[in-house]
Structures are given as structure tokens and as C-alpha cells.
Amino acid sequence: MIVVVFISVFAIVYYINFRRSRKRLYELADRIPGPFDYPLIGSILLTLGKDPLELVSYLMQLMHRLPSPMRAWLGPFLLVVVDRPEMVQDILSSPDCVQKPFMYDFFRISKGLFGAPADTWKRHRKLLNTSFSPAVLKSVVPKLNAKAEQFAHELNEYAGGDCFDVHVLLARYTLVTISSTTLGTDLSVEKRAVLEEYSSNAIRLFTACFERIYKAWLHPEFIYRLTPAYKEEQHRMQLFKQMSRKIINMRHAAAAENKAKDDPQDSEPEDKQELPKAKIFIERLEEISRDPNNNIDEDGFQQHIDTMMFGGNDTSAQALSNTLLTLGMYPDWQERVYQEIMEVVPTGHISYEDLTKLTCMEMFLKETLRLLPITGLIARAPVKEVQAREFTIPSGAIVLIPFLKIHRDKTIWGPDAEVFNPENFLPERCAERHPYAFIPFSQGPRNCIGMKYGWISMKILLCHVVRMYRIATDIRLPDIQLSLSLVMKLNKKHLIRLEPRIDVR
């Protein structure tokens, strides 16, 4: 009896102190509208028992009905959903909003750029930004062209035949191009099955990590570790890391070979040596990790590589697969994209300069990314109070920015917001809209480091494929439902058919 009384008193005192220490958080939270909180658990019940597909349509319905911005409680955590473009700009451009909330730790790559805490991230991002500079991007264009050309020829196997799932092929393709152009390693020497297994394992691994976010009861690490989900995660993580380990070993072997070949008598006199070349991501990473001040240990080095592969592989594969699907759904637009390619670059490799001339293709890609975004929502943890228009967002809150909702908001895109229309991206229409109304790569200092690379690589691939084939599909846009995950998935496979435009034998 005494023990029970003691524990109860202790719990009450603890709770009162806890509330008192967060007085300002509650004060500011109360000024943000948000209708559905229960004591202690807040809005946790909202996500209970919903699978990722149901969750998207449910949250979309809620967000369209409820006020903006909106607050909700996930147990003790204050969530603030911000979806007005001008408020999103205030958040994403604030230097006090580059910290990611604790959920990003669930992906277990907190030493890489994607999940790193703000102080480490600031230092590393500044040092690594140069590996996506225009000089580096320009230098990888020939390689991207060669890979895309080869891929387009490989598709000939499917031309004139039945529907096939193009995502499987593109996941392998983007893995090979990312590792070749940013990690300096040619994975095309690996067997097809190995690469496909790697991609599908990575998708399952990070989908499971994402699901943990809305299953709040799995948040405490000590509880999570007791579940079968943790065991499976560890198994998948081990498999996932085998590839970055292989890449590191291949780099070491190549470096040792070069050193052995390096005969000082053969080297050029200093004044005849080439100018320093633009360093791709791995070269820059190797360089900065030699400086002990940058605090990149062996594990951190590998996590940077894992991050690049996870950031660049499935995102690009999904965006390209979605675009081939939409090209198949809208043949008139496909023809316009094709005619533009024939005007700009009817044969051969496309140059860095010519890429900017593919404006119709860019509008088409943007419309696909608007309605089928790759990232459904992102989150930030302000480290100080941040003013977002008339609202003060407290430090300690978790700000959620739902791209999915912003991209379909009728107040931004008009009554036909759900209709596929690349003319939404005509220059005059873009000029009328807030620049933060469409941000598929996020914005501000912590946006996607691979954004420009992504545009270039997608345009080059599309150029080679659309030039060679007519694409068709039986799937229609209204048939598609998105499921909430780190990379948003469709409820359908990317089933397309190809007809050759030219004799590709």
C-alpha cells in the first residue's frame, strides 16, 4: 500500500514538473488550432490499425478538412502541420529549422547527411556541397548518357511484347548510375540478381523503419528491440550494408593498384600536370575524412555512402517509373515530349547545355512529381522559437510539411488540382504561384543535395528511352493510390508496354 501511494505521489509530482518545464510549449501550442487531443495520448489513436495506403487517404481527408496550420499531439510530442507555402518558406529557410526530429534516427544512418544532427550536418554539408557543383555535374553527363543509351537498348528485349514492370529494371539502373557517377564504382559487374536483391531489400528495410514512425508504441528503443520487427530490421540492415562495404573494398583495391603502378620516374613534371579535376562525392568524402577535425570515423564514412545510395537510388527509380507510366497514360503529351527531343537532340548524346532546352519534358516531369510525389512529407525540429507568418512555432515542436497535400491543394492549383496537366508549369502560371507551392526536393539549406543531379539524370534517361520507344499502359491516374512511406509507393506495379519507334537491332 505504501509503495503504491509512494509511486502515485512520485508520478503526480513528476507530471506537474514535466508540465511546468514545458509551460511555454503548451502556451504556444494552444494558439495553434487543433481539435482532437486526448489527455496523455493526444492523437495517437488516429493512426491505430491503419495500413500505409489507408493512412494516406485518411490523412489527406483530415488535412483538407482541418485548419491550417494544425496542431496534434503524438503522446508528449507536439506536431504542427504546416501547409501554407508562405509558412513553409518561413520554416524551411530558417537556420533554426535544420534539425531533424528523433524519428529520423529510426533509419539508423544518423552519421550521413540525411539524418545527421544539425551541428554535424552543417559542417559536413558545407564540405560535401562541392561534389554536386556544376563542374562535377557537367563531368558526369557523358557517363550518364552512356548508361542511359545502354539501358534503352536493353529495353529492346521487351519491345513489341506484353506489359512488364519497369520499376525493377530502373531500380537496378539507378543503383548502377549512382554508384558509378557519385561513388566511383562500377556495379554493372555485379550479377543482375544481386543488384535487384539489394534494391528490394533497401526498399523493405526503409519502409519498415518509416512504419515505426506512426506506430508510436514502437518508439521506445527498449520495447522495439523486443519485437520481431527489430530482428528483421537488423537482418535487412546487415544485407544493406554489404554493398557499401563492397564499394569501400573496391575503392581500396583500386587505390592500392594505382599506387603500385605509380612510378615517380614516369610522372609528369609539375608544370605539365593536369588542373585539379572536379571531385565526385566519394573523392570529396575521402578527402575530408582524412582531416580529423571533421570527425568522420569508419562507420560515419560508410553511413555517408549508404545515405547516398539510399537517397539517390529508389527516389530516382520511382520518379522515372512514375514518369514512364504517366507518359503511357497521356499519349498526346508523350508525342510533344518526343517532338521536343527530336528538335533538340535527334540522335547521339545529349549535352549539359542542351538539357535546359527540354522545357516540355521538364513540365511533364514536374506534373508527375506534383501528383505522384516521391516524398510525401518531411519533418523539422526547431531548436528555437520560429516565426511562421502570424504563428510562433515553439522549440520542442515537430513541424510536419505534407508535400502531398500542398501539391493537390485546390486553393493553390485551382478546382482541377487533381487533374494531370503539365501546363500547370508554364512559366506564366509558375510566376503566379508561391515558389514553395511545389517543392518535391524540399527547399532551404537542408534540401536535397542531389536535386540538380536528379534532374539531369532523369532527363538524360527519358531522352534516350522516349526517342526509341512509344510507351503505353492500361493503368489510369484515378486507379492509382499512394502509400505513405519514405519513398511513396503506388498500389500498382509500373506496368508498361513498348513499341519501337526505330529499328533498334
| Sheet hosting strand 495-500, strand order edge to edge | 164-165, 495-500, 469-472
Of 446, 459, 467, 494, which lies in the binding site for ligand HEM, with binding defined by CB under 6 A?
446
Is 360 annotated for ligand binding?
no
Q: Examine residue 368 and tell whether it contacts ligand HEM (CB under 6 A).
A: no
Position of minimal CB gap to ligand HEM: 450
State the nearest-atom distance from the C-beta of 10 to ligand HEM, in Å. Answer: 38
Q: How far apart are the first and last CA of the chain?
A: 86
Q: Give the nearer residue to ligand HEM in terms of CB position, either 216 or 308.
A: 308
C-alpha angle 379-384-389 in degrees, rounded to nearest 5? 70
State the nearest-atom distance from the C-beta of 64 to ligand HEM, in Å. Answer: 22
Helix 281-289, helix 228-261: angle, nearest 10: 90
The Cβ of residue 492 has, within 10 Å, a number of other Cβ atoms equal to 13
CA pair distance 131, 208, nearest whole angstrom: 31
The Cβ of residue 297 has, within 10 Å, a number of other Cβ atoms equal to 11
The interface with ligand HEM within residues 318-337 (CB under 6 A) comprises 319
C-alpha angle 495-499-501 in degrees, rounded to nearest 5? 140
State the nearest-atom distance from the C-beta of 131 to ligand HEM, in Å. Answer: 9
C-alpha angle 241-242-246 in degrees, rounded to nearest 5? 120
Please name the residues in contact with 261: beta carbons below 8 A apart, sequence gap of 6 or more.
none
Q: Examine residue 145 and tell whether it contacts ligand HEM (CB under 6 A).
A: no
Quote the cell numbers at residue 408: 493537390
Of 52, 311, 328, 402, which lies in the binding site for ligand HEM, with binding defined by CB under 6 A?
311
Please report the DSSP string for 387-444 in residue order.
Answer: EETTEEEPTT-EEEEEHHHHTT-HHHH-TTTTS--GGGGSHHHHHHS-GGG--TT--S
HSE (CB half, 13 Å, CA atoms) of 432? 10
Q: How far is CA 158 from the centre of its chain?
A: 29
One character per residue 104-143, x = contact with ligand HEM (rule: CB under 6 A): ---------xx----------x------------------
Of 139, 188, 395, 442, which lies in the binding site for ligand HEM, with binding defined by CB under 6 A?
442
The Cβ of residue 464 has, within 10 Å, a number of other Cβ atoms equal to 24
CA pair distance 88, 400, nearest whole angstrom: 10
Of 89, 289, 315, 485, which lies in the binding site for ligand HEM, with binding defined by CB under 6 A?
315
State the nearest-atom distance from the C-beta of 490 to ligand HEM, in Å. Answer: 15
Q: Examine residue 285 and tell whether it contacts ligand HEM (CB under 6 A).
A: no
State the nearest-atom distance from the C-beta of 377 to ligand HEM, in Å. Answer: 9
CA pair distance 491, 93, nearest whole angstrom: 34
Q: Give the nearer residue to ligand HEM in terms of CB position, either 169 or 178.
A: 178
Q: Are 186 and 180 in contact (CB under 8 A)?
A: yes
State the nearest-atom distance from the C-beta of 333 to ligand HEM, in Å. Answer: 19
Q: Examine residue 452 and tell whether it contacts ligand HEM (CB under 6 A).
A: no
C-alpha angle 304-175-178 in degrees, rounded to nearest 5? 60
- Part in contact with ligand HEM (CB under 6 A); list of ranges 66-74, 154-162, 292-300, 435-443: 435-443
How many residues sit close enough to ligand HEM to count as binding (CB under 6 A)?
24
Q: Give the nearer residue to ligand HEM in terms of CB position, either 170 or 475.
A: 170
Q: Give the nearer residue to ligand HEM in terms of CB position, either 174 or 473.
A: 174
Q: Examine residue 402 and tell whether it contacts ligand HEM (CB under 6 A).
A: no
Of 321, 375, 443, 473, which lies in the binding site for ligand HEM, with binding defined by CB under 6 A?
375
Whole-Å CA distances, 308 to 64, 214, 256, 365, 402: 34, 25, 24, 22, 23
CA pair distance 473, 498, nearest whole angstrom: 9
CA pair distance 254, 262, nearest whole angstrom: 12
The interface with ligand HEM within residues 289-308 (CB under 6 A) comprises 307-308
The interface with ligand HEM within residues 376-395 (CB under 6 A) comprises 378
Q: Give the nearer residue to ligand HEM in terms of CB position, either 218 or 369.
A: 369
State the nearest-atom distance from the C-beta of 390 to ligand HEM, in Å. Answer: 25
Quote the cell numbers at residue 381: 525540429
State the nearest-atom distance from the C-beta of 374 to ligand HEM, in Å. Answer: 4
The interface with ligand HEM within residues 182-211 (CB under 6 A) comprises 182
Quote the cell numbers at residue 157: 528485349
State the nearest-atom distance from the C-beta of 397 to ligand HEM, in Å. Answer: 16
Q: Give the nearer residue to ligand HEM in terms of CB position, either 8 or 295.
A: 295
- Part in contact with ligand HEM (CB under 6 A); list of ranges 5-13, 79-87, 191-199, 312-320: 312-320
State the nearest-atom distance from the C-beta of 141 to ligand HEM, in Å. Answer: 14
CA pair distance 357, 347, nearest whole angstrom: 15
State the nearest-atom distance from the C-beta of 293 to ligand HEM, in Å. Answer: 20
Of 56, 448, 461, 466, which lies in the binding site for ligand HEM, with binding defined by CB under 6 A?
448
What residues are designated binding site for heme?
448
What residues are designated binding site?
448
Site residues for ligand HEM per CB under 6 A: 113-114, 125, 178, 182, 307-308, 311-312, 315-316, 319, 374-375, 378, 440-442, 446, 448-450, 453-454
